[in-house]
Amino acid sequence: MVYQGKSERINYIVAIIAVIGLILTIELTQVIGMNNAYHQMHQQSNQQLSNLVGYIDNILGRFDRIPKVLSQHPVLSQALISPNEQSKITKLNQLLADIRTMTQASDIYLIDKKGITIGASNWQFPNSFVGMNFTFRPYFQDALKGKLSHYYAVGLSSGKRGFYYAFPVIIDDVVAGVIALKISIADIEEQYKKTVLNNSFNFLIVAPDDVVFISDRPEWRLKTIGNLSKAKQLNLIAEKRYTDKEISSLNVVDISNHYFPKDLDSELLKVTSNKGSKEIFALNKLMQKANWQVHLWSSLAPMKNQQNLLVILSASGYLLMVFLLLFANERLKNARRIKQSQQLLEKKVKERTADLSASNVKLHEEMAQRQQAQTQMNKMRDELIQSEKLALIGSMSASINHEINQPLTALRSYSENALAYQERSMADKVKNNLSLIIGLVDRLSDIVSQFNSFSKKSTGVATDVDVQMSLMAAMSIVKHQAKAARVEFISKPCSEPLHVYGDAIRFEQVLVNLLSNAIQALSEQEDKQITISVSNIKEQVIIKIRDNGPGILVDNIDRVFEAFFTTKENFGLGLGLSISHRIIESMQGQLNVNNHPDGGAIFTISLPVNR
């Protein structure tokens, strides 16, 4: 009991230490990992912010020289001198429209000294500036003082945000009017979003009056970051900078945490608008030329994901380390147990080794006996096939003798005649008889060579076999038997040459055996016919041998391929069809038998085509 209580206390202390270590590991990983992540985000944001500032500066700078150059055009001076001459005003309007098209500005218009617009590029549209009074606009007032003026505001007639350029038109050293040019802020936003801005960043440009004048997020435009002072609110109303649009504020809260590096000139903010809230990494930079504060805000969602991943990785790594320590400790214990078990096992192995050695010797003896038996069985099978082949030749001996006796009798007769002709000095007759004798000898040679080829033992080597040539050879061997039995062969060869793969001699033996059986089956038939057909069906060579005899009894049709089964009395061992069946199977084919509906048996050989 004392030992058990001590063990529980140790386990409790180890568990507390493990939990504390887990918390410290997660925290340390968070500090290091998030610090690196924030520095990386700051670097990316700073690069993107520099690109944005450079882009805006470049766009605004492109239009700086246009008002000054345009102010020196004589058409503007002529229109200001003679504002009531319609031809000059028309010419002015057309010029301003052409320049607007070339420069891609939003609007260009000419204001006289009293602040009244006398010509504009949009003169033909309903929201034309012609006739409008712009004395209240600061850019008009500054241009009257003889300098280039910049201004940003929402258009009175269009309601669209724009950036304005104004330059005095001087006639005889006196300011006679002001030429103004407006570019669309919306066009700048859209172009930057399409060409430069990364999807993970948002930008805001805040004017000196603390109003967000430019942003890629519509819900942030014409909002303030924080509340406006009373003086700035009155100034906005007096200038009509944003017409009658209501200027509300964005709710911005600092959410910096202890993971955020103190050396970065950036902030973590939570921005709330009418479309929801968003946590962002904020960086800003002053545009010196326009006196605008450019803000680049990037979502903290990737940082949150990275933070969660760091928690998972650190916890997993720590738990893995603890698991490895526990595993190592357990392995040491197991090593001691295994050593003890190994010693016991070695003792048992020595005892079993002796038994296995004896069993192994016995197994080798049995394998040798099986191999010897298999060799003997293969030899007996080959001898059995050869015996069946010779038995088949023996069954045809009567017809063979008849075929041989006829040429032999003729040879004797021609030889005796040749001797008689020679005694009478009839050389021509002798020569003719000798030619006939040579032809008979050739005939005997063909007969003997056919049976000599058939009686040879197979080498057991598979080769490419021409089906039609094998059929012709088989038919040639049994033709004497067929002739003696008055059996007619009807051959239906295939239109294309067909080849199979196997032992040519054994394949020929199968064909001879089937033809011989068919001849014997027709012994009691008057009109004796055997039909042999060859076809190619779905890459299978189909050979059908059909006789018009009595067919096979239904009770015997399933047993014809069994060894030692025969229906012939005092003839054969009943091995021919069994051996034929096995030879066809060894060639990856099938041998089947059926009774034909019109009478007689039909044996079908199916073998794959050899391409």
Residue 302 vs residues 40, 252, 279, 308, 345: alpha-carbon distances, Å = 12, 20, 11, 10, 58
Final residue in a domain of this structure, among 283, 303, 323:
303
Low-confidence ranges of the chain (pLDDT < 50): 398, 570-571
CA angle 429-434-439, nearest 5°? 130
Kindly report the backbone phi and psi dihedral angles of residue 505, in degrees, each rounded to the nearest multiple of 5, phi listed first.
Answer: -65, -45
Torsion of CA 24, 26, 29, 30, to 10 degrees: -110
* Beta bridge partner(s), residue 249: 224
The whole-angstrom separation of Cα 583 and Cα 589 is 9
Domain stops at, among 273, 303, 333:
303
Residue 176 lies in a domain: no
Does residue 103 lie in a domain region?
A: no
Measured between alpha carbons, how far is 230 from 251 in angstroms, rounded to an integer? 19
Decide if 91 contacts 85 (C-beta within 8 A). no
Crossing angle for the helix pair 301-395 and 504-521, to the nearest 10 degrees = 50
How buried is 105 (Cβ within 10 angstroms: 0-12 exposed, 13-18 middle, 19+ buried)? buried
Among 265, 285, 303, the domain boundary falls at: 303
Non-local CB neighbours of 297 within 8 Å, separated by 6+ positions: 201, 202, 203, 204, 269, 271, 280, 281, 282, 283
User: Within a domain: residue 566?
Assistant: yes
The full DSSP string for 26-37 is HHHHHHHHHHHH
Taking the C-alpha atoms of residue 93 and residue 115, their distance in angstroms, rounded to an integer, is 17
pLDDT in tens, 161-174: 888 999 999 998 89
Distance from C-alpha of 468 to C-alpha of 493, rounded to nearest angstrom: 7
Q: CA–CA separation, 538 vs 166, rounded Å?
A: 91
- The per-type count for the chain, helices as H runs and strands as E runs, is 13, 19
Question: In terms of C-beta density within 10 A (0-12 exposed, 13-18 middle, 19 or more buried), how is residue 55 classed?
Answer: middle
| Eight-state DSSP code of residue 229 | P
In angstroms, rounded to a whole number, what is the distance separating the alpha carbons of residues 310 and 317? 10
> What CATH code is carried by the domain that includes residue 253?
3.30.450.20
Output phi, psi for 476, to 5 deg: -65, -35
**Residue 555 has which token pair?**
């009770």
Instruction: Return the closest-CA partner of residue 546 out of 521, 583, 509.
Output: 521
Do residues 200 and 51 lie in contact, with contact meaning Cβ atoms separated by under 8 Å?
Answer: no
Q: Is residue 69 part of a domain?
A: no
The pLDDT value recorded for residue 405 is 58
Q: Is residue 227 part of a domain?
A: yes
Cα 596 to Cα 544: distance, rounded to the nearest angstrom: 11
The CATH number for 501's domain is 3.30.565.10
142 lies in a domain? Answer: no
Would you say 35 and 320 are in contact if contact means Cβ atoms under 8 Å apart?
no
Cβ-based neighbour number of residue 142 at 10 Å: 18
Cβ–Cβ under 8 Å, residues 140 and 117: no
Rounded Cα distance, 344 and 539, in Å: 65
Q: Are 567 and 559 in contact (CB under 8 A)?
A: no
Give residue 413's pLDDT. 62
What does the alpha-carbon distance between residue 79 and residue 71 come to, in Å, rounded to a whole number? 12
Confirm if 587 and 461 have CB atoms less than 8 A apart: no
Q: The domain containing residue 467 runs over which residues? A: 462-608
State how far the Cα of 247 lies from the Cα of 450, in Å rounded to an integer.
Answer: 116
Count the neighbouring beta carbons within 10 Å of the beta carbon of residue 416: 11
Output the CA–CA distances (angstroms, integers) from residue 434 to 181, 409, 424, 441, 443, in the order listed.
Answer: 129, 15, 16, 10, 14
Q: Which of 489, 599, 486, 514 is nearest to 548 (CA)?
A: 599
What's residue 389's pLDDT? 56
- H helix or E strand, kind and range, residue 546: strand 540-547
Query: What whole-number distance in Å separates Cα of residue 526 and Cα of residue 246?
Result: 120
Q: Return the number of other C-beta atoms located less than 10 Å from residue 193's C-beta.
A: 13
Q: Output the CA–CA distances (angstroms, integers) from residue 551 to 28, 504, 590, 599, in the order listed.
A: 96, 29, 20, 6
Residue type, 46: N
Q: How many domains does the chain have?
A: 2
pLDDT given for residue 26 in this prediction: 78
Residue 560 lies in a domain: yes
527 in a structural domain: yes
Beta bridge partners of 167: 179
Give the Cα separation of 64 and 58 in Å (integer): 10
CA distances from 597 to 255, 551, 600 (A): 98, 10, 8
Per the CB < 8 A criterion, the answer to whether 549 and 567 are in contact is no
CA-CA-CA-CA torsion sign (492, 493, 495, 500): positive
Residues 6 or more apart from 502 whose CB is under 8 A from it?
Answer: 462, 463, 465, 583, 586, 587, 607
Q: Taking the chain, what is the end-to-end CA distance rounded to the nearest angstrom?
A: 86
